[in-house]
């Protein structure tokens, strides 16, 4: 009897340890922002679920998930581009889930289209606008107040842009294609290329700095790069920001293009319930404020506002009109966009 009690106790301890070991979320993240650390720690404090994080970029995460297959330890995937999320969905890397909380707070156009069984593979968690920064001493706002005007001959030799094949630009081009059609988008891409001040290079911050330095007069950038300069403790960054103005394009038509940072449950998640809890937490008002403000973005969840001073200054503390097409459309249009870029010789 004594031996039986010891055996039972040992089994109970082993079972308890196994249950405790399962209280984790293995996260593959393309977000590399220090402020996210506090966000993750808050989740662990609230739930007891530990987060094990692997950092990479979107492409690296996709490659790793494909290489690992069913042996992948990943539970949650965070990416920073809608087209890459769409590609991961089509490559069958994500697990469709049903979550009343996520479906209630994340707008339908900022998440994947439902599967046949109603499951959804990914959800947007924060948004960033693809805006136009310009030299306010040389360019009139009305000459750059739409994406279409970037191809206008009056802007010849004025535009700086990072590589056309970068995901942020590919997503913008995919959105423009959705709005104006492939034929007009082809002409537009050719016009933008013809208006470049120099060959594409660098990142979005480099484009803003090039405008401030007089290397070009117009730049295409994600909103948070400009916000970072505005909020920087480095006087040189603030000086750069003060030399440019910003336009949220297409306010009189279909609205400014939004990209997203978003999350999905990995296809072979071993901790699915914890993974869903984590995504639901990231969509909560508290986390949305943290998640978005940490990288100068806007919350994706409904009825959550930001008090970010740089974003308020950019928009003059007023709502701006954003496009309402399904964000998944930019992914659908990627094959067309790649072909159009090849035809235009726009790299």
Residue stretches of the annotated binding site for Fe cation: 32, 224-225
| 134 strand-pairing partners | 218, 245
Q: Measure CA 101 to chain center.
A: 21
The closest alpha carbon to 216, from 106, 99, 132, belongs to 132
Burial class of residue 114 (count of CB atoms within 10 Å of its CB; 0-12, 13-18, 19+): middle
Transcribe 82-118 into DSSP letters: HHHHHHHHHTT-B--B--HHHHHHS-GGGBPPP-TTS
Please give the annotated binding residues, written as ranges.
32, 224-225
Could you count the other beta carbons within 10 Å of the beta carbon of residue 56?
Answer: 15
Query: Whole-angstrom Cα distance, residue 231 to residue 251?
Result: 25
How many Cβ atoms from other residues are within 10 Å of residue 40's Cβ?
A: 20
Spatial separation of the C-alpha atoms in residues 292 and 304, rounded to whole Å: 10
Q: For the CA atoms of 207, 213, 215, 219, what is the dihedral angle to 10 degrees?
A: 30
The three-state (H, E, C) secondary structure of 118-152, written as one string = CCECEEEEEEEEEEEEEECCCCCHHHCCCCHHHHC
Report helix angle 35-47 to 285-293, nearest 10.
160
């Amino acid at each position: 009897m004594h031996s039986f009690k010891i055996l039972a106790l040992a089994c109970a301890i082993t079972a308890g340890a196994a249950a405790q070991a399962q209280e984790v979320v293995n996260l593959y993240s393309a977000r590399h922002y220090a402020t996210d650390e506090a966000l993750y720690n808050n989740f662990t404090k609230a739930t007891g679920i530990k987060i094990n994080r692997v950092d990479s970029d979107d492409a690296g995460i996709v490659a790793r998930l494909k290489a690992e297959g069913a042996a992948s330890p990943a539970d949650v995937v965070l990416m920073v581009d809608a087209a890459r999320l769409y590609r991961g969905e089509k490559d069958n890397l994500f697990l469709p889930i049903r979550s009343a909380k996520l479906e209630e707070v994340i707008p339908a156009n900022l998440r994947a289209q439902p599967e046949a069984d109603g499951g959804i593979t990914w959800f947007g968690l924060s948004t960033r606008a693809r805006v136009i920064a310009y030299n306010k001493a040389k360019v009139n706002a009305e000459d750059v107040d739409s994406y279409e005007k970037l191809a206008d001959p009056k802007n010849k030799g004025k535009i700086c842009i990072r590589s056309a094949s970068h995901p942020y630009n590919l997503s913008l081009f995919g959105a423009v294609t959705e709005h104006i059609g492939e034929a007009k988008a082809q002409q537009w891409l050719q016009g933008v290329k013809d208006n470049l001040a120099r060959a594409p290079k660098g990142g979005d911050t480099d484009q803003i700095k090039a405008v401030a330095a007089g290397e070009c007069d117009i730049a295409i950038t994600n909103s948070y790069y400009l916000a970072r300069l505005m909020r920087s403790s480095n006087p040189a960054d603030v000086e750069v920001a003060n030399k440019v103005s910003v336009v949220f394009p297409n306010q009189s038509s279909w609205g400014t293009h939004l990209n997203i940072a978003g999350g999905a449950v990995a296809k072979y998640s071993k901790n699915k319930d914890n993974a869903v809890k984590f995504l639901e937490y990231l969509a909560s008002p508290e986390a949305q404020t943290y998640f978005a403000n940490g990288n100068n973005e806007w919350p994706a969840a409904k009825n959550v506002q930001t008090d970010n001073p740089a974003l308020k200054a950019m928009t003059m503390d007023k709502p701006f009109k954003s496009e309402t097409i399904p964000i998944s459309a930019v992914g659908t249009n990627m094959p067309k966009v790649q072909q159009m870029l090849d035809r235009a010789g726009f790299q």
